[in-house]
Amino acid sequence: MAVLTPAQRQRFDDEGYLHLKGVLNTERDLDPIIEEYGMVLDRLAADLFAAGTISSTHAGMAFSPRLIKIYQESHKVHSQFFDLSLPKGDVKADTPMWVGPAVFRALTNPRLLDVVEDIVGPEIYSNPVQHVRIKPPESQINRSESNALVRLTPWHQDNGVVLPEADETQTLTVWFSLTDATVEMGCLQLIPGSHKDGLRTHCPNLKDGLAIPDKLLELDRVTPVPTRRGDVLLLDRRMCHGSLANVSNQVRWSFDLRYNPVGQPSGREAFPGFVARSRSNPASELHDAAAWADLWYRTREMLSQNDIKTFDRWDADAPACA
C-alpha cells in the first residue's frame, strides 16, 4: 500500500524534495539512537581523559552540553568518532566510526522503508554514502579543526559526491532530524526545481569540501526547510542543497541516508551497502546488525592496506571553479 499520496509524489517530482512531518516516533525510533550515542560519547571522553587531553570526562552532563564541552576542551572536533561511514581517504586500521545496532535499526526502519519504496520501488538497497551530523553551535568550536559534518554544509548535489558510474542510479536521500532543526540551528536549505537542470560542476575546496559555485545556482529561489524531531526530508539526487550555520546555543543532530534500487551502482562501490528490502526475494535482506557492522570493519581493514584514491571526480581547475 502506498504511503505517499499522489499529490505528495507529484510534488516530489516537480520540486525535487518532500517534507514529511512526524514519520518517526521520537520515543520508539529516535531515543534509542540518542542513548546509543551517549555510550559512544562515554568512550570518547574516557579515551581523551586517559590521554590527558581533557580534565574530566564530564560524565554528569547531558549529551549536547557534554559534547560541546569536550570539543572545546580538546580544541578539536571528533565527528569521525560518531559517523556511520568511513572517510573518503587516508583510512587507518583504527579510524573511528560508529556502526551500532541502533544505527542499523534506523537504516532498516520499516516506516522509512515504506516511504522509500514509494519512490525507488520494492527492491531497496541501503547505499553506503551516509552520515550522521552532530553540529554544535559554530561559535563554540574551533573552525580550523571543523568540517562539513559539524558546521554549515556548502551547496552540493548528492549525485556530485559519487562517481560517474552512479549518475543514472535512482538514488534517494532520506534526511531526518533527531533534534529540531530550526533556521537558527542550521536547518537544510535547498533550491526547489533545481534537480531538473542536471548535474552542476562541483569545485574541490580544502576548507569546505566539494561545493557548487554560487554563480551556478539560482540563489533567488533558496528555501530553508526547518524540521522537527522525527520529520523526514526526501531529496532527489540532483537537488541543490546545503545547510545553514548553527548560530543557536544547541546541538543540531541529523541522519543523512541514501537508498537506491537493488542492482544499481552506489557510486562508492568500495563501501558496503546491503539489501534493506526485497519484495521479490526477502531472503536477500540483511537483518543482522552485527553482520552489517562487520562489513564496515572488514572494509576499514581493506582500505587501511590499500587506500583508494578515486572517490573524487571533480577538477579544481575547471573553468567554473575559477
pLDDT number for residue 2: 79
pLDDT one-digit tens code per residue, 166-218: 999 999 999 999 999 999 999 999 999 999 999 999 999 756 678 999 999 99
Residue 259 and residue 127 in contact, taking contact as beta carbons nearer than 8 Å: yes
Strand duo 188-190 + 241-243: pairing: antiparallel
3 within some domain: no
pLDDT number for residue 240: 98
**Structural domain boundaries, residue 68:** 11-321
Closest CA to 205 of 162, 243, 154: 154
pLDDT one-digit tens code per residue, 12-33: 999 999 999 999 999 999 999 9
* 3-state SS class at 110: helix
User: Average pLDDT for residues 256-263, to the nearest whole number?
Assistant: 98
pLDDT number for residue 143: 63
2 within some domain: no
Percent of residues, the chain, with pLDDT higher than 90: 87
Confidence of residue 306 (pLDDT cuts 50, 70, 90): confident
Residue 144 has pLDDT above 80, yes or no: no
Residue 296 and residue 101 in contact, taking contact as beta carbons nearer than 8 Å: no
1 within some domain: no
Q: What is the DSSP letter of 156?
A: B
pLDDT number for residue 207: 67
Residue 234 has pLDDT above 70, yes or no: yes
The number of folded domains in the chain is 1
Q: Which three cell numbers stand for residue 189?
A: 536549505
Residue 20, beta-bridge partner list: 232
Distance in angstroms (rounded) separating the CA atoms of residues 16 and 153 = 19
Within a 10 A sphere around the Cβ of 214, how many other Cβ atoms?
A: 9
pLDDT number for residue 215: 96
pLDDT number for residue 41: 98
| Mean pLDDT of the chain, nearest integer | 94
170 within some domain: yes
Which of the residue ranges 86-90, 96-100, 213-217 would you say has the lowest mean pLDDT? 86-90
Confidence of residue 228 (pLDDT cuts 50, 70, 90): very high
Is the pTM higher than 0.75?
Answer: yes
User: Average pLDDT for residues 274-294, to the nearest whole number?
Assistant: 98
Distance in angstroms (rounded) separating the CA atoms of residues 54 and 49 = 5
6 within some domain: no
CATH value at residue 152: 2.60.120.620
Residue 5 CA: distances (Å) to CA of 10, 154, 308: 9, 32, 42
Q: Which three cell numbers stand for residue 3?
A: 504511503
Between 130 and 146, the higher pLDDT residue? 130
24 within some domain: yes
pLDDT number for residue 312: 77
200 within some domain: yes
103 within some domain: yes
Q: What is the DSSP letter of 75?
A: T
